[in-house]
Amino acid sequence: MDDDFAARLAVGDDVTVDERDVEMLAAIDREGSMHAAAQHLGRSYPHMQRRLDELEAAAGDLTERARGGAGGGGTTLTDDGRAVVRRFSRLRAELSGAASVTESVFPGTVVDRDGEIASVETDAGTVAAVTPPDASTVDVTVRSDAVALGRPGGVDPDDTSLRNELAGTVSEVDAGDAVVAVTVELDGGPALHALVTEASRDRLDLAAGRRVVARFKATATRAVPVDPSRQ
């Protein structure tokens, strides 16, 4: 499965800002003129000007042009233009984070409800999850960045907002530069994926065979209806 994506930021009814647009805006601000930005990016100046006109027709003035003089004039971004670049950067960071995490999926059956939160019986135990109305047979999904690992018996679940608590054994530890991906084989069979820091791995001495408890919020857990005939 390919987790690549193309971020797009809507700035009008029919106009969206994409990666090339942000590269153009950033180059204009950095280089100080449209001509210098076009040369730096290796793009056609007329094409860049047409694209900028389209963006500004939808989003307002993104650039401001200074007339010639001692400094020779030039073009820079307005506050609105810089705001568009920042918003796009935040969007891309959010999408990148979503694409880089793993989801654990547990098939289950709704056994009780408390408003939007349902109790779902899975092979790993009962899990509290945000669940659509009238759903009965569901897949419970948990993002790895929503899971906190700890030692068994270390925390009273009644004293935290982490309503879900499942015990298991670490089966795999995959360390990156600063973040560690941990796979936990839960008691009952399913695997749960978690992302922790290097400091947490060292503190908990996480390694294959280590017993742990995985905790996560009900509000960070989603139940998706499935066709019962699939079971």
pLDDT beyond 70 at 161: no
Asked whether the beta carbons of 89 and 19 are under 8 A apart, the reply is no
Owning domain of residue 138: 103-230
Instruction: Write the pLDDT tens digit of every residue in 189-204.
Output: 789 999 888 888 899 9
Same-domain check for residues 91 and 188? no
Q: Considering the domain boundaries, does residue 60 fall inside one? A: yes
pLDDT at 136 (0 to 100): 92
Same-domain check for residues 135 and 169? yes
Same-domain check for residues 93 and 55? yes
Between CA 10 and CA 18 the distance in angstroms is 9
Instruction: Write the pLDDT tens digit of every residue in 41-100.
Output: 999 999 999 999 999 998 899 999 876 544 446 888 999 988 888 888 877 766 555 445
Same-domain check for residues 84 and 123? no
pLDDT at 111 (0 to 100): 95
What residues contact residue 70 under an 8 Å CB cut-off, 6+ apart?
Answer: none
Instruction: Write the pLDDT tens digit of every residue in 98-151.
Output: 445 688 999 999 999 999 999 999 998 999 999 998 899 999 999 888 899 988
Q: Considering the domain boundaries, does residue 2 fall inside one? A: no
The backbone region for 142, taken as left when phi is positive above 0, alpha when psi lies in -120 to 50, beta otherwise, is: beta
What residues contact residue 208 under an 8 Å CB cut-off, 6+ apart?
Answer: 170, 171, 172, 173
Q: Considering the domain boundaries, does residue 205 fall inside one? A: yes
